[in-house]
Chain A
Amino acid sequence: MTQITGGFSASDAHVGMSAAGVTFVDISGSAASVAPGEQTRKSGEVYTHSGDTAIITGGKREPLEVEIKIVYTEGTGDPFEVIRAAFEAKTPYYFRWSPKGYVTGAFTFTSDAAVITGLTYPDTDAGTGDPCMCAFKFKTAKVTKSALVT
Chain B
Amino acid sequence: MTQITGGFAASDAKVEISANGSSWNDISGAAASVAPGEQTRKSGEVYTQSGDTGIITGGKREPLEIEVKVVYTEGTGDYFETIRAAFEAKTPYYFRWSPKGGVNPDFQFATPVAFFSGLTYPDTDASSGDPAMYGFKIKTPYVTKSVVAT
Interface residues of A (CB under 8 A from B): 25-30, 59-63, 71-75, 78, 84, 87-88, 90, 112, 114-132, 135, 137, 139-142
Contact = CB atoms under 8 A, between A and B. Distances in A.
Contacts of B32: 125-127
B119 interface: no
Nearest to B55: A141
Ranked nearest first, the 4 interchain pairs of A and B with the lowest CB-CB distance are A124-B13, A26-B1, A124-B10, A115-B58
22 contacts: A25-B1, A60-B54, A62-B45, A63-B54, A72-B7, A73-B5, A74-B6, A74-B105, A74-B106, A87-B39, A87-B41, A112-B56, A117-B58, A118-B41, A122-B10, A122-B109, A123-B99, A129-B11, A131-B8, A131-B9, A132-B99, A142-B53
User: Could you say which interface size class chain B belongs to?
Assistant: 35 or more
B73 interface: no
A115 B41 contact: yes
Given A115-B56, A124-B34, A73 B7 contact: yes
Most buried by A among B12, B15, B36: B36
Contacts of B45: 62-63, 141
Interface string B23-43: 000000001111111111101
A130 B8 CA distance: 8
B107 interface: yes
B100 interface: yes
Contacts of B6: 73-75, 78
Given A27-B1, A72-B99, A127-B33, A141 B38 contact: no
A61 B40 CA distance: 22
B39 A60 contact: no
B43 A139 contact: yes
A123 B33 contact: yes
Given A124-B33, A126-B12, A131-B7, 13 more contacts: A28-B1, A29-B2, A61-B53, A62-B45, A63-B45, A63-B54, A87-B39, A87-B41, A88-B61, A118-B41, A121-B143, A125-B11, A130-B9
A130 B12 CA distance: 12
Contacts of B57: 115
A84 B105 CA distance: 18
A87 B3 CA distance: 24
B9 A114 contact: no
Contacts of B3: 29
